[in-house]
Amino acid sequence: MSLNCIFCNKLVFGESGLTVPQRGPAHQHCYQADSALRRTFQCLDIAELNDDELRDLKDLVLSEENDRRRKQGMSAGNDQAVELF
């Protein structure tokens, strides 16, 4: 097993190194830069979704937001109609 960073391919050693699960060793700053540039959420790589999957995800998120708003309104005693989009 190589101890080279999976991002910059330079030797990883000392406290600046870490292990990326299922990928290998990396420098902390290389891993943080990659994480900041990649569009991921909870291990879901959004950039890998096709257009249909992205639209489905958007619909699910909007539905969840509407449901949570409705539940908050009901707990506050407000009667709100279900929002359709």
In the structure, what pLDDT confidence band is assigned to residue 81 with cuts at 50, 70 and 90?
low
What is the average per-residue pLDDT within 22-47? 89
- 71 occurs within a structural domain: yes
Number of domains in the chain: 2
**CB distance 50 to 58 below 8 Å:** no
Q: Is the pTM of this model over 0.85?
A: no
- 20 occurs within a structural domain: yes
Are residues 2 and 23 both part of a single domain? yes
- 43 occurs within a structural domain: no
Residue 57 exposed, middle or buried by CB count within 10 Å (0-12, 13-18, 19+): middle
Mean pLDDT of the chain: 87
Query: Which domain does 77 fall in, by range?
Result: 48-85
Are residues 52 and 77 both part of a single domain? yes
